[in-house]
Amino acid sequence: MVKMEHLETPLVGGDRPSVLKYTASYIIGTEFCERLAYYGFAGSLVLFFQTQLDYSNEEAVNAFYLWNGAVYVTPLLGGYIADTYLGRYKTILFFAIIYLFGLALFLFGSIPGGVNGGLVFTGMYVVALGAGGIKPNCSTMGADQFDLKIEQDAKEAKQFFSYFYWSINLGALLAYTIVAYICQYGLPGLGGETWGFFVGYLIPTIFLGIGIAVFMSATTKYVKHPPQGSMVSKALGIMFEAVVRRGQNTNLAHWLDVASKVHGGSYDPNDVESVKYVTRLFPYLAVMIPYWGIYGQTKTAFQIQGCQMNSKL
């Protein structure tokens, strides 16, 4: 008797499962939960500092930006660990658990009548560390699931990034409306305004837990590439060597070429070319700094100004 094997995922076009539907969708769901957790947590931090810790406007804004800066620096660490040691799957899972622990610490530190500044700030920076392991790896792990040599996968990969982007925006929308409202005004029957921040911050904690469960539920389905070394480290090495050897050959077309093996350097010419493409983005990135500096005010000064306005005029 011939034994029939059970096919876990339906085939698309008669011979291949939909990667987007049956694998990458779990990553999209994870991203939605994590972004709701992040924006739900960050969205009311300034008001929390002012109302629960009696911070002035300046103190609240400074505390927020110190933390927010950490959130955007730690992805360098998360990306390096994934590329060099753990791979993306293990890095995401490991840092997501750290992230959840940080949210729990903050939650316990925000209990009304016993707000604990030590727990609050410890939790905040543990969250920053945890977010740093997810931010650089979630989208790239999603891309890893697709074989771009296959027409169906190439098409679905484009759809994946559209859905991934919208999952971020949907998470942010719910965070800045529902979660922010609960933090400020509370819920009847759940302590009202007194317990507003605690109940509000409970929501991101729960959603991140759900996100971890969703991510783990597809463990056997994921394509998991092994660590292959950090390109960031290599890029920094190329730039460092180019600076050190800059006077040895002044007739080259680009200042990084001196680091190439072709010109007596230590690095593969293809890697040097890749870094040259990245350096062309530096002027564009420099122009983006003022924009993001202004945009960041929506989480701080914009909220403070709104709280001081007479909304009944």
The tokens for 244 are 């050190």
Asked if pLDDT for residue 235 goes beyond 60, the answer is yes
Residues 175 and 272 both lie in one domain: no
The total of structural domains in the chain comes to: 2
Residue 209: pLDDT band by 50, 70, 90 thresholds? very high
Percent of the chain with pLDDT over 90: 75
Residues 214 and 263 both lie in one domain: no
Question: Phi then psi for 122, rounded to 5 degrees?
Answer: -65, -45
286 domain-assigned: no
Q: Compute the distance between CA of residue 99 and CA of residue 103 in angstroms, rounded to an integer.
A: 6
**Greater pLDDT, 139 or 231:** 139
Q: What is the pLDDT of residues 57-78, one digit of tens each?
A: 999 999 999 999 999 999 999 9
Q: What is the pLDDT of residues 154-182, one digit of tens each?
A: 999 999 999 999 999 999 999 999 999 99
Residues 125 and 235 both lie in one domain: no
Asked if pLDDT for residue 6 goes beyond 80, the answer is no
Residues 196 and 68 both lie in one domain: yes
Quickly tell me which residue has 């957790």 as its tokens.
37
What's the CATH code of the domain at 88? Answer: 1.20.1250.20
Residues 155 and 270 both lie in one domain: no
Q: Last residue of some domain: 189, 212, 228?
A: 228
**Greater pLDDT, 254 or 161:** 161
Asked if pLDDT for residue 10 goes beyond 60, the answer is no
Give me the chain's average pLDDT, please: 91
Find, among 213, 234, 272, 254, the residue nearest to 93 by Cα: 213
Average pLDDT over residues 244-272: 86
Asked if pLDDT for residue 12 goes beyond 50, the answer is no
Q: Compute the distance between CA of residue 168 and CA of residue 142 in angstroms, rounded to an integer.
A: 14
Q: Which domain holds residue 104?
A: 17-228
The tokens for 140 are 């790239």
Output the pLDDT for position 7. 38
Residues 210 and 266 both lie in one domain: no
Report the 10 Å Cβ neighbour count for 291: 9
Residues 170 and 75 both lie in one domain: yes
Output the pLDDT for position 132. 94
Q: What's the pTM value of the predicted model, to 2 decimals?
A: 0.88
Residues 77 and 153 both lie in one domain: yes
Quickly tell me which residue has 């316990």 as its tokens.
108
DSSP letters spanning 71-101: HHHHHHHHHHHIIIIIHHHHHHHHHHHHHHH
Residues 21 and 168 both lie in one domain: yes
Output the pLDDT for position 207. 98
Question: Phi then psi for 222, rounded to 5 degrees?
Answer: -70, 145
Q: What is the pLDDT of residues 17-45, one digit of tens each?
A: 899 999 999 999 999 999 999 999 999 99
> Alpha-carbon torsion 52, 58, 59, 60, what sign?
positive
Asked if pLDDT for residue 311 goes beyond 80, the answer is no
Indicate the DSSP class of residue 188. T
What does the CA dihedral 84, 90, 94, 97 come to, rounded to 10 degrees?
150
Average pLDDT over residues 281-303: 89
